[in-house]
């Protein structure tokens, strides 16, 4: 019963977060597909925040 990115965004109310960066990355729990990309986005976002 996986949800797509739009459903997750809606259920979590992410559009109401105006002062926060957020990103939904599709992943597969069994193969790990998409996990690296999501963690890469997180690392880059934290790195940028550290330079401000």
The pLDDT tens digits of the residues spanning 1-52 come to: 789 999 999 999 999 999 999 999 999 989 999 999 999 999 999 999 887 6
Residues 6+ apart with CB under 8 A from 22: 14
What are the residue boundaries of the structural domains of the chain, listed by start?
A: 5-50
**Residue pair 35/27 in contact by the 8 Å Cβ criterion:** yes
Gap between the Cα atoms of 33 and 27, Å rounded: 5
């Amino acid at each position: 019963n996986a949800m797509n990115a739009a459903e997750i965004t809606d259920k979590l109310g992410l559009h109401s977060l105006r002062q926060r960066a957020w990103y939904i990355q599709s992943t597969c729990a069994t193969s790990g597909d998409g996990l690296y990309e999501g963690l890469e986005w997180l690392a880059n976002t934290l790195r940028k925040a550290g330079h401000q």
